[in-house]
Amino acid sequence: MTSILSLSNEKIKVIAKELGLSEDELMKQSLVTFLERKLKEIKAEIYKIMNKYMISSIEDFERLYEKVKIEEKDSFEDFKRLDHLEFKKKR
C-alpha cells in the first residue's frame, strides 16, 4: 500500500510541475473542483425531488403531509432523501 501512495505522490509532483503549481495549490484546486461538482450533484437531486412535489423547501414537504395533500407511505423515502441532501448541502 505504501508504494501506491508514494507513486501517487510522485504523480502529484509531476502534474503540479507541469501545470506550474505548487503541490499544495494543485491539491487545493482539485479539492475545490471536486467539492463544487459534488455540490452540483446534490443540488440536482434536490431539484428533482422538489420538482416532483412542486415544493421549494423541506418545510413545504412537511406542510403537504399536514394538509394531507400527499400520503406519507408514497413519499416518505423522498422526504428522508431530501432532508439528507439538504443536510449535506449545508455541510
Element at 73 (helix H, strand E)? helix 72-90
| Predicted local distance difference test score (pLDDT) of residue 75 | 93
Task: Reduce the secondary structure of 17-70 to three states and give it as a string.
Answer: HHHCCCHHHHHHHHHHHHHHHHHHHHHHHHHHHHHHHCCCCHHHHHHHHHCCCC
Q: Which structural domain, as residue segments, surrounds residue 63?
A: 2-90
Total structural domains within the chain: 1
Q: How high is the mean pLDDT of the chain?
A: 90
Nearest to 50 by CA among 76, 70, 79: 79
Give dist(CA 80, CA 11) in Å, integer: 41
Higher-pLDDT residue of 15 and 2 is: 15
State pTM to two decimals.
0.78
| Predicted local distance difference test score (pLDDT) of residue 4 | 53
Give dist(CA 72, CA 81) in Å, integer: 13
1: confidence class by pLDDT, cuts 50, 70, 90: very low
pLDDT in tens, 40-84: 999 999 999 999 999 999 999 999 999 888 888 889 999 999 999
Half-sphere exposure in the Cβ direction for 76 (13 Å, CA): 3
